[in-house]
Copies of this chain bind each other. A is one copy, B any other.
Amino acid sequence: MPNITVALDAMGGDFGPRVIVPAAVQALSHFPELKVILVGDRNAITAQLASLGYPANSRLDIQHSDRVISNSEKPSLALRNSEGTSMSQAIDAVAKGEADACVSGGNTGALMALSRFKLKLLPGIERPALVSALPTASGSQVWMLDLGANVSCDADSLFQFAIMGSALAEQYLPHSPRVAILNIGAEEIKGNDLVKRCAEMLSQTSSINYIGYIEGNQLLSDAADVVVCDGFVGNVCLKACEGTAQIFINKLRSSLTASSIKGWIARILFSRLFNDLKMLNPDQYNGASLLGLRGIVIKSHGSADVDALVNAIGEAIHEVKRQVPSRISDRLEAVLLERHY
């Protein structure tokens, strides 16, 4: 019985309906609990559905919109000119209660500004944050935030990121999430004012399992479950990990695909290792959540393919089931009570 509705911005991302419509169809077959609202150009969506031989039905609705927010649009401008865009209508569907979550691969800044304006922030949160679970060396995960929603933030925001990240991670972990701040050294004297002030606040908060600073080389090494940083650092750092992983994967791939005997042996012996290594690239995952809102908004990579988009839709479903916004709200209330009394 389908009982979770996800609004999909069918025009967002680099490929629009060409990728988003097939992803919606695949997600519907993968998640029996899912209903989808495809928001975007009705003709383009219908044409895609027809080419897949998949008619609109009780689990797939189309909501027409004839405008798209471009990737180069400033968030402030996007906010003013958003009326009638696919992204705006997808968020509206959540705001009106027609959908439980929305997924968009469009302009991140615009998605944040619109979500904040239409869904409102949870009480006690000043800025939403973009979070994603990254694969670690041991096959586990680390939740990193902010990944680029806030190019600059203050210690209060960083502190709130820690609480939100912890509340999210504890939905997935059997233990209290170990929360760390990303810094340029492990010693107390290291870092800028931002991390030092946030460290002081977290040290005084007993309901958060704060373990101190970690350095960039520990990010994917299971040193922490939740890693907080400002959005500039988080975005650059995550992409640096992805870029490095991609270089290794490309070098290995060229060995594995060589048309020599060596390449042939390599394919027999190491295809599985290669596939395991591919999964270590954070880029393999898709679906970063905008946390801190009174609703669920998932940001997909602009360049996501069908499988990656299905992952992002899966993330939306998980968060609906786990009622992530209200978990964060509860956790935040507890921390604020602890800090003020």
Contacts and interface: CB of A to CB of B under 8 A. Distances in A.
Given A217-B246, A220-B244, A247-B221, A192 B236 contact: no
A192 to B, nearest CB: 4
A200 interface: no
Interface stretch (A167-175, A266-274, A310-318): A266-274
A240 B262 contact: no
Contacts of A262: 269
Nearest to A73: B189
Q: How many copies of this chain are found per oligomer?
A: 2
A236 B239 contact: no
A182 B232 CA distance: 10
Interface residues on A, range: 35 or more
Nearest to A151: B192
A239 B215 contact: yes
Contact of A184 (B184, B218, B235): B235
A149 to B, nearest CB: 10
Contacts of A74: 189
Interface string A323-334: 000000000000
A96 B278 CA distance: 54
Contacts of A219: 240, 243
Nearest first, the 8 closest Cβ-Cβ pairs linking A and B are: A216-B239, A217-B243, A216-B240, A184-B235, A217-B239, A244-B244, A216-B236, A151-B192
